[in-house]
Every structure is written in C-alpha cells, then in structure tokens.
Amino acid sequence: MKIFLDSANIEQIKTAYDMGAITGVTTNPSIISRENRKFDDLLTDITAIMTDGPVFAEVLSVDAEGMIEEGRKLAKKSKNIVVKIPMIPEGLKAVKTLSSEGITVCNTVVFSASQAILSANAGASYVAPFVGRLDDIGEDGLCLCQEIRDIFDAQGIDTKIVAASVRHPVHVNALAKMGVDIATMPFKVIMQMATNPNSQRAVEGFLKDWEKVPKE
C-alpha cells in the first residue's frame, strides 16, 4: 500500500519524502489555508519536491462548468497534478469531462460505496473515502473501504482507492490488510508509524554496550 502525505507544509513534505515514507501528496482547501501562502506558490513548491509522484489539488467551484475550468488550469501546472473533484452530482459531470480529456481526476469526500461506483463509472482514476470522518459520526470508515475494495475487485474496476481522513497507525494497518491502494494521512501519523519506544531503547542499549568495547 502506498502512503501519501495529507499536507501542504513544505517542511513536512520534505521530511517525509527524504525518509522515503511517501510517494504522493494530497491537499484540500482547509490544508492550504493553514500555510498562509498563495495557492499557486505552494503548489509550485510541492510539485518541485514531488517530482516522481502525484500531487492532488482540489477545485473550489460547485458547478460542473466551474470545476471543469479550474481542473484544466490545475492540470496545466504540472504533469503530476491530480485534480480533486467533490463527489456531488455536478462533480460527476466534471469528472466525466476532465477524464475524457486525459486529465487525472480523484473524486473526493466519498462516504458510500454507491458513490464510489458512480465515480468509477464517470472515469475517476481515484476515489477518496473519508475513514475518520465516518468514525466521528459513529459509522465504520474501515468497513466502507472494505466494501469498496470488494466491489471493485468483483467488478474488475481499476479505479484506485485513496483512504483519506486516516487518524492513526491502526487505521493504516487495517487498510493495508484489506488491500486498499493508498492511504493519505497527516505528518503526525507518519511519525507515529516511524517511532516506537522499543526501537529507541534498543538503539540506546546498543550505544551503551558499545562503550564497553575496547578501543585499542
């Protein structure tokens, strides 16, 4: 399973990329707003780091015509841009048009398997079910991802599943076991995955024991 970073923070992206932890970056309007920088400047910096992986950028319009116009502009900014389109009826129209033009599209804010089926039929290369947000309202986000995985496998659908709103490493492990293609997560979750107190204690123990080794 591939790991994407859900962030527009340049330092976080550099760190995760240098660790070899990520192969893509996802953003949304809320994430962009936290950086207090112009969107175009941020996108330029992110794509300069992620030269060999996709960078997801979201449209702001809620009508098909506006989404299509924004999507075309975003796609021109870099060859590895994936245009994020919200999973609403107007969004499906935009997905169909943009994908027919060869633009890579992700249908985002997916909260049901039936939405994922429609996204795939419209031509989306990716669908993004929101795991944590479903958990927040007492539903099972992991169960939704499993349902989409089962349907896509049964139907031979090639659309990739990008599990979003991933909150902790337990989510990541469960998603990997069910065969989800990609999990996108905050920097904090990646560092939780990379850090374990037992690993740190083992390193400290090795270094302490090494001090006992004769140097001459």
Active site residues: 84
Q: How far apart are CA 21 and CA 2, in angstroms?
A: 9
- Of 29, 22, 27, 21, nearest to 9 by C-alpha is 27
Alpha helix (H) residue ranges in the chain = 10-18, 29-33, 39-49, 64-77, 89-100, 113-122, 131-136, 141-155, 169-178, 187-194, 197-210
Neighbouring residues of 14: CB distance < 8 A, sequence distance ≥ 6: 49
At residue 24, the 3 state secondary structure works out as: strand
Q: Which residues contact 141 (CB under 8 A, 6 or more apart)?
A: 129, 130, 131, 132, 133, 134, 135, 165, 171
